[in-house]
Structure 1
Amino acid sequence: MKGQEWYQADDVAREYDSKRFSKGGRLIDHREKQAVLSALGPVEGKNVLEIACGTGRFTVMLAERGADVVGLDISAAMMAQGRQKARSAGVGDRIEFIRGDAARLPFPDDHFDAVMAMRFFHLADTPAKFLAEMRRVSKKQVFFDTFNSFSTRVVYNWLLPMGSHLYSRADVERLLAGAGLQLADESHDFILPYGLYRKIPNGIAGELRELDETIRDNEYGEKLSSVSYWNAEVL
């Protein structure tokens, strides 16, 4: 996995949310949460695993809606932020945070109703292995996102401290087939790169987002989208 030392640093964990999801980054946070909820549907009573849960943005959100959630991550510092967030939201009893390796998940086959990973596959050195593990422990559903190879992501990819793996649609289709998964639904978004939104005030970002959505909705928009959300079913 790329940038493990950077990702696990205490100072990175403390500042992670504020740097990425403040200012115009709030729009990114909102859209990603929409994508997760749309894909998973009603989660009350479901048993959900989140791979690379980080600071618990999605873990806590799902627990607040009645899911029993396991959040797995390699960074103890990130999960410490997640535990604090869960306590503040009053859902600490619905979440178990586990430090572990996504390539060797410590769960039996078909254990969870749904398994998800956000902001993970762009860092994965062995994506096929990770996806196969996600499928193994899921009864029904696997959901994840990718950054796309034919997009504005290419422009600033080299600036990222951890690097970033970009995927074509064909790449994703091969991964799904190899893992024994069938694509059920997909959506594509963000013509403009994430980094641009994070640098500007939320009000200006909102106007930029309207432009982004207008471009995305034309006939070429989907192909230019920098982010894709993939909702797959277990075969």
Structure 2
Amino acid sequence: MKGKEWYQADDVAQEYDSKRFSRGGRLIDHREKQAVLDAVGPVEDKDVLEIACGTGRFTVMLAERGADIVGLDISRAMMQQGREKARRAGVADHVEFLRGDAARLPFPDDHFDAVFAMRFFHLADTPAKFLAEMARVSKDVVFFDTFNDTSARVVYNWLLPMGSRLYGEEEVDGLLSDAGLKLTDATHDFVLPYGLYRKIPNGIAGELRGFDTSVGDTPLGERLASVSYWSASVLTDD
């Protein structure tokens, strides 16, 4: 996986949330959490798996809504941050953090009601293998996001410490088909890149967000969107 060593560093884990989701980054955090909630639906008493759970932003959020959730990640330092969040939120008994390999998930077939991954596929060296494993262990919902190859991400992608894999709609369609998944919904967002939001105060970011969403609602804006959210269901033999 790209940036494996960087991602697992203790100082990266400690500063991850504050660097990405403060200031205008709060808008990104809110949008991503809403995307997850829209995809997985009501989660009370459901078994959910989050792949690449990182510091537990989504893991803890879903546990607070009644899910029994496993957060899988490669970074012990990131998961330690997540465990502390779960403890502070009073949901530690509904969350299990597990270090593991997304290409070989340690769960039986059809084990979870929903499986999702956020901020993961841009780092994935073998996306087909990862998506096939997500589909294998899910009874129904599979959800993930990608960064897009027709967006501003192309311009500044080289500046990232590990680089990113960018996707087009045709490639995602092929990955879904090969994994035995049926696309149920796709939304495209953030014409303005994430990095811009993180650099400015939240108030100014809110004004820019209004412009961003108005442009994003057009055919051109959809094509230039930085990120896409993909919801799919597992195909059955019925």
TM-score over 0.5 (shorter chain)? yes
Task: Output the CA distance in 1 between the equivalents of 2:130 and 2:178.
Answer: 11
Verify: 1:140 aligned to 2:140, yes or no: yes
Task: Output the CA distance in 1 between the equivalents of 2:120 and 2:217.
Answer: 26
Verify: 1:172 aligned to 2:172, yes or no: yes
Q: Kindly provide the amino acid, as one letter, of the partner of residue 117 in structure 1.
A: A
Q: Kindly provide the amino acid, as one letter, of the partner of residue 6 in structure 2.
A: W
1:4-57 Cα shifts (integer Å, max 9, x gaps): 110000000000000000000000000000100011110101100000000000
Task: Output the CA distance in 2 between the equivalents of 1:137 and 1:219.
Answer: 35
Match of 1:13 in 2: 13
CA RMSD of aligned residues (A): 0.5
Task: Output the CA distance in 1 between the equivalents of 2:131 and 2:219.
Answer: 31
Match of 2:181 in 1: 181
The DSSP-based 3-state class of the residue aligned with 2:42 is coil
| 1:73 shift after superposition | 0.1
Task: Output the CA distance in 2 between the equivalents of 1:25 and 1:68.
Answer: 28
Q: Kindly provide the amino acid, as one letter, of the partner of residue 156 in structure 1.
A: Y
The DSSP-based 3-state class of the residue aligned with 1:141 is strand
Task: Output the CA distance in 2 between the equivalents of 1:192 and 1:160.
Answer: 16
Match of 2:229 in 1: 229
Verify: 1:48 aligned to 2:48, yes or no: yes
1:120-152 Cα shifts (integer Å, max 9, x gaps): 000000000000000000011100000000011
Unmatched runs of 5 consecutive residues or more in structure 1: none
The DSSP-based 3-state class of the residue aligned with 1:209 is helix
TM-score (norm 2): 0.98
Task: Output the CA distance in 2 between the equivalents of 1:43 and 1:219.
Answer: 33
Task: Output the CA distance in 2 between the equivalents of 1:227 and 1:4.
Answer: 22
Q: Kindly provide the amino acid, as one letter, of the partner of residue 194 in structure 1.
A: Y
1:197-234 Cα shifts (integer Å, max 9, x gaps): 00111011001111101111123111111100000000
Match of 2:82 in 1: 82
Greater shift in the superposed pair: 11-20 or 217-226: 217-226
Task: Output the CA distance in 1 between the equivalents of 2:157 and 2:54.
Answer: 21
Task: Output the CA distance in 2 between the equivalents of 1:96 and 1:9.
Answer: 21
Match of 1:199 in 2: 199
| 1:155 shift after superposition | 1.2
Match of 1:31 in 2: 31
The DSSP-based 3-state class of the residue aligned with 2:33 is helix
Unmatched runs of 5 consecutive residues or more in structure 2: none
Number of residue-to-residue matches in the alignment = 235
| 1:192 shift after superposition | 0.5
Q: Kindly provide the amino acid, as one letter, of the partner of residue 5 in structure 1.
A: E
TM-score (norm 1): 0.99
Task: Output the CA distance in 2 between the equivalents of 1:39 and 1:124.
Answer: 21
Task: Output the CA distance in 1 between the equivalents of 2:105 and 2:232.
Answer: 19
Over the matched positions of the two proteins, sequence identity in percent amounts to 79
The DSSP-based 3-state class of the residue aligned with 1:149 is coil
Match of 1:123 in 2: 123
Task: Output the CA distance in 2 between the equivalents of 1:39 and 1:76.
Answer: 27
Task: Output the CA distance in 2 between the equivalents of 1:115 and 1:185.
Answer: 15
Q: Which consecutive segments of 4 or more residues in structure 1 shift more than 2 A?
A: none
Task: Output the CA distance in 2 between the equivalents of 1:9 and 1:175.
Answer: 31
Q: Kindly provide the amino acid, as one letter, of the partner of residue 206 in structure 1.
A: G
